[in-house]
Amino acid sequence: MMDMESQLKNPAREYRSVPFWSWNDELEPKELVWQIRQMKEKGIGGFFMHARGGLKTPYMSEKWMECVRVCVEEAKKCGMDPWLYDEEGWPSGFAGGEVTKLGDGYHTRWMELYQCAPSDIGRELSILGIYAPDGRYLYDYREEETVYVVCEKANPYYVDVLNPDVIRKFLEVTHEKYKKEFAAELGTVIPGFFTDEPQFSKLKIPYSYLLPEEFKKENGYELKEHLPALFLDLPGCGQYRYDFWKVVSRMFTEGFCKTVYSWCEENHCRLTGHLMREDSLLMQMQATAGVMPSYEYMHVPGIDWLRRRISSPLTPKQAGSAAAQLGRKFVLSEMFAMAGWDCSPEELKWIAEWQYVNGVNRMCQHLEAYSIRGIRKRDFPPSLFYQQPWWEEYGDFNEYFARLGLLLTSGQVEVELLLLHPMHSGWMLYDGQEEGEIVSFGQRFEDLSQRLADCHIDHHYGDETLIARHGKVKGDRFYIGKCGYRAVVIPDMRCMDQPTVELLLQFAQNKGHIYQMGDFPEYTSPKAQEPLLKLGDLARPVGIRELKKDIDRLADFPVSITENGREIPNIHYQLRKTDTGRILYVVNLDTVMERNARFRLSGSWEITEYAPLDNSRYPVDTDEEQPGQTSFCIRMAARESKVFFIRELKADPKAAGREAKARDSDRTIILNPGGSWKIRHADLNALTLDRCRYRIDGKEWRDEIYTIQLMDILLQEKRPVQAELLFSFRMDMAPEETREFYLAAEIADRLNARINGIEVALCERGWWRDKGFRTYDIRPYIRKGDNEIILKIDFRQPQNVYEVLFGENVLETEKNKLTLETEIESIYLLGDFGVKNRNGFSYSWRKELSCDPEFSIVKMPTSVYGDDFTSQGFCFFSGKMVISQDLILHEYDDSLGVKIQSLKGRRILYRFQKPNAAVAKLIINGKPVKKFLWQPYECDITDYLKFGENEIVWELYSSNRNLLGPHHHVDGELYAVWPADFTGEPSPFKADQRNVWSDDYHFVKFGL
């Protein structure tokens, strides 16, 4: 086996990212191969072949299999992992409709409660039971004034995941087909399958035809006896809810996850993916009744993390804890969906590292889009693929996380504390609503986990189902699987399972440490009631500070991270023990605060800082504040992370310390040039035309509307029509003053248009941003002043589009795989010009600026200044800009305030604020200095300067945000971007029913 140093130079593919590759258009083998090679070039280790909305190649067809074959062969040549995705869209299980069409017994089911008079009970209801107001089951209800009725309902668009026979049918029509096609490759070249968001009836109380029998078998009484207790706070409801959800949890875990996992085991391949709604106790009750038990049945447990944000440790730590306990090497996260087109590499890193410090160690980027034409650009953006202006710099991002993944799978994680997970208490509290006690109860658990992490008490969660299956006490350690803990914290709990009670008592008898941090549970099984009371006497109530002292005494390697004597919140860590020492990974999750962090470690150690971005190492200056303790101080910028290698001390630490101190004592000059910058180069500028007049079938012209709204108008026709779109724009310059002027459109290769009254058949000249964005030279047809472009489009859709969009009770299973034949989209003007707004801009939060629709095309600017180039002629710019400035360095420089006849013993730092650019590259006097993807924003430029004139050059890469939007949401720049946010329609997944449309345009700053 290679040593760590050799592996870090070029990490193996198993540590590299494996993104969702969204197959969302007509698939062409040559294009698939080209895209794979693009991924390989950027350091990506594999891909999930993910059928998604917009797909025009029939799913699981002969051509589909041919395309998979091409990708498997190319991945083999490139040394990449071609994973299969097990569904057409999501959630997994319905096989694109092949399973659901088999009939009623395969359909997802749930229960609903009604209160009514007996005479109002409808015959059409499928009744499970009728009940008195106090919840009693009624055999004769005719004498009652009002009754409760519990009935079961079904939806034909998704499957009963509680029934393993249904899931075996799913395997038969999906996995077995792949096995037949790729028998030799499955489990060798093809690692396995990704399963996505399996769930019982989301946000409902689930039901299955198998449930009554399974419930009685496990609990000894009939399911129907107390059904209203699932919905109402009736006497004894907690006990019944516990019994009910325990059965549902087992049926879900075994029905879906174990069934699929077992198939993969039998066929020597791996299962990964994630479950639905992992983010809180309430959300888990709404889809799975608890995610942690299912991780036992994943070879690579996984999670999903949406939006541009972080949260409590809950979601990643659930998977990270179970993986460590079950001996799973990797934890995968599907991340970055909905983060928006302007999410920078620094923000992506921040989102990822919050997960990595909590147990994730392999990245699945959501997503890389085969195409972003049409609705695909709005598919929970961004697409982190070749469509990004900064794609050519993306390789560094992937190398960083490949190295980090390697480090965070090395050795064993060192965690001394187990925090019991109160999921089963959630069973007792959930009543099918999205509010109530379960919300505050779950939040208290998340807050406790956050406070522990903020105080640098690393911990794992103990799921009671996993404890029952894998828990044991050995000496003074409490084990779940492979992880042994010196201490256990009982948080706020309503109940505790019998196996947990018995193991904790044994742990206490063996001198284990048990702490109480919340209300002690009152409920357990009758046999464990007395032991639970005894356990209550043994559990020691503590606060965070007291617990920190105890854990530091118990731990083999306590970690303290302080500033001014106090533990620093929001700096979290992971500690791993390897054959050669320890790896300490530390992340400052704060988005604003820089910290001067003092680290204290027990023992005498040699500390080396490791930089994953460039695979470099630096000795760390340490001191000995107390005998037997190693201490060092490190500045950590906001969102910055550090990796430290901790080894046994082999040399005199004072020697390394003296060298480091000498560097620190150098006279440092801080440089930050401002003022104006010359534009040396700018990629083609753009003007997005997203408004048009229109007419249908040659009738009268209608007033100007936004093109995205026209799409809905044409769909409402529910028939084929001919649409004419009239786009207008203003030129405040002559066409002759440009060298290039193109129209880019997301339609056919040949475009029929009428430009300023001239009928033209335009031939495409290539592509821009995406291969579906075809470009056409229109410079000969434009003029100074007002211009018009009329496009004729034959608009038609297959019948199933109307059925999905306008049918009743259609689930997301159908909407997630919807493919439109004709799409009405904005068009783009490209060229060497500027774009100004005639009435100016206003500024708001999140780098946002906004303006009215009065744009005009002007001469390309020759210079820019400040942190906002957007308003200086680049409103819709998407690309790379190169700017320069001359710096005169005199022998005596007043601006620097020091005589610099010689730079000996002096260092000049270039320090600046975070640029409003995705990536920034600094070049001085023709020599590359540094590429900036994230903090810290400074570098030593001493060796690049000379006396006299110096040329400072910046290469700045924008995002696609200002080109693609959303431009018209009243909240401006969004950190959670749904497809609906582009249209103004209320999202079905947001508790926000406002009309969010704004006719104003909302951009973000691009600049230095």
Condensed to tens digits (0 to 9), the pLDDT of residues 911-968 reads 999 999 999 999 999 999 999 999 999 999 999 999 899 999 999 999 999 999 999 9
Q: What distances in angstroms separate CA 250 from CA 111, 247, 272, 292, 956, one per listed residue? A: 18, 5, 19, 12, 53
Q: What is the mean pLDDT of residues 78-98?
A: 98
pLDDT in the model for residue 747: 76
- Report the C-alpha gap between 199 and 212 in whole angstroms: 19
Q: Which residue shows structure tokens 């995002």?
A: 959
Q: What is the mean pLDDT of residues 956-982?
A: 96
pLDDT in the model for residue 977: 96
pLDDT at 854 over 70: yes
pLDDT at 663 over 50: no
- Report the C-alpha gap between 586 and 712 in whole angstroms: 49
HSE, CB side, 13 Å, CA atoms: give it for residue 1003: 33
pLDDT in the model for residue 1: 46
- Report the C-alpha gap between 709 and 380 in whole angstroms: 19
Encoded tokens for 70: 């091409």
Q: How far is CA 298 from the centre of its chain?
A: 20
Measuring CA to CA, which residue among 385, 279, 398, 305 is closest to residue 341?
385
Tell me where in the chain the CATH 2.60.120 domain(s) lie. 666-684+833-1008, 692-831
Query: What are the tens digits of pLDDT across the range 108-166?
Result: 999 999 999 998 888 788 999 999 999 999 998 888 889 999 999 999 999 999 999 99
CATH number of 692-831: 2.60.120
pLDDT in the model for residue 192: 98
pLDDT at 653 over 80: no
| Other beta carbons less than 10 A from residue 388's beta carbon | 22
DSSP state string for 608-673: EEEETTTTEEEE---B-SSTTEEEEEEEE-TT-EEEEEEEE--S-HHHHHHHHHHHHTSEEEEE--
Tell me where in the chain the CATH 3.40.50 domain(s) lie. 417-554
Query: pLDDT band for position 2 (50/70/90)?
Result: low
**The CATH fold of domain 559-665:** Immunoglobulin-like (2.60.40)
pLDDT at 662 over 60: no
pLDDT in the model for residue 764: 87
Measuring CA to CA, which residue among 994, 976, 974 is closest to residue 986?
994
This prediction has a pTM of: 0.96
Residue 843 near residue 849, CB atoms below 8 Å: yes
- Round the average pLDDT of the chain to a whole number and report it: 94
pLDDT in the model for residue 634: 96
Query: pLDDT band for position 652 (50/70/90)?
Result: low
Q: What distances in angstroms separate CA 787 from CA 628, 726, 855, one per listed residue? A: 78, 10, 13
| Other beta carbons less than 10 A from residue 997's beta carbon | 17
pLDDT in the model for residue 650: 76
Task: Tell me how many degrees the CA angle 851-855-861 measures, rounded to the nearest 5.
Answer: 100
Q: What is the mean pLDDT of residues 582-604?
A: 96
Q: What is the mean pLDDT of residues 799-826?
A: 94
Query: What are the tens digits of pLDDT across the range 166-207?
Result: 999 999 999 999 999 999 999 999 999 999 999 999 899 999
Q: What is the identity of the amino acid at 307?
A: R
- Report the C-alpha gap between 229 and 222 in whole angstroms: 13
pLDDT in the model for residue 750: 63
Measuring CA to CA, which residue among 328, 337, 324, 327 is closest to residue 271?
328
Compare 536 and 627 and report the one with higher pLDDT: 536
- Report the C-alpha gap between 632 and 624 in whole angstroms: 9
Residue 1004 near residue 962, CB atoms below 8 Å: yes
Residue 1006 near residue 871, CB atoms below 8 Å: no
Query: What are the tens digits of pLDDT across the range 550-572?
Result: 999 999 999 999 999 999 999 99
Tell me where in the chain the CATH 2.60.40.1180 domain(s) lie. 559-665
- Contacts of residue 8, defined as CB under 8 A and 6 or more positions apart, other chains included, come to 403, 406, 407, 612, 615
**β pairing state of 192-196 and 81-88:** parallel
Q: What is the CA radius of gyration of the chain?
A: 31
Q: What is the mean pLDDT of residues 303-314?
A: 98
For the domain made up of 666-684+833-1008, the CATH class stated in words is mainly beta
Phi, psi (rounded to 5 degrees) for 950: -125, 140
Of the listed ranges 406-410, 511-515, 519-523, 751-755, the least confidently predicted one is: 751-755
- Report the C-alpha gap between 930 and 928 in whole angstroms: 6
pLDDT at 655 over 60: no
Q: How far is CA 437 from the centre of its chain?
A: 28
Encoded tokens for 966: 């959303």
pLDDT at 895 over 60: no
- Contacts of residue 984, defined as CB under 8 A and 6 or more positions apart, other chains included, come to 709, 968, 969, 995, 996, 997
| Other beta carbons less than 10 A from residue 991's beta carbon | 7
- For residue 770, count CB atoms less than 10 angstroms from its CB and return exposed for 0-12, middle for 13-18, buried for 19 or more: buried
Q: What distances in angstroms separate CA 659 from CA 620, 652, 653, one per listed residue? A: 10, 12, 10
Give the whole-number percent of the chain exceeding pLDDT 70. 96
Measuring CA to CA, which residue among 584, 561, 559, 586 is closest to residue 572?
586
Give the whole-number percent of the chain exceeding pLDDT 90. 90
pLDDT at 299 over 60: yes
Compare 133 and 989 and report the one with higher pLDDT: 133
Is CATH 3.40.50 the classification given to domain 417-554?
yes
HSE, CB side, 13 Å, CA atoms: give it for residue 590: 13
Query: pLDDT band for position 81 (50/70/90)?
Result: very high
Cis amide leading into 367 (omega within 30) = yes
pLDDT in the model for residue 862: 97
pLDDT at 900 over 60: no
- Report the C-alpha gap between 148 and 899 in whole angstroms: 89
pLDDT at 233 over 90: yes
Measuring CA to CA, which residue among 733, 712, 732, 731 is closest to residue 723?
712
Q: Which residue shows structure tokens 């995610």?
A: 291
pLDDT in the model for residue 658: 34
**β pairing state of 1001-1004 and 147-159:** unpaired
Query: pLDDT band for position 103 (50/70/90)?
Result: very high
Phi, psi (rounded to 5 degrees) for 751: -120, 125
| Other beta carbons less than 10 A from residue 970's beta carbon | 13
Q: What distances in angstroms separate CA 731 from CA 735, 778, 855, one per listed residue? A: 8, 13, 9
pLDDT at 659 over 90: no
Q: What distances in angstroms separate CA 940 from CA 143, 429, 621, one per listed residue? A: 88, 58, 19
Q: What is the mean pLDDT of residues 761-773?
A: 92
Classify residue 276 by its DSSP letter: S
pLDDT in the model for residue 306: 97
Measuring CA to CA, which residue among 200, 201, 205 is closest to residue 232?
205
Q: What is the mean pLDDT of residues 453-461?
A: 98
**β pairing state of 785-795 and 477-480:** unpaired
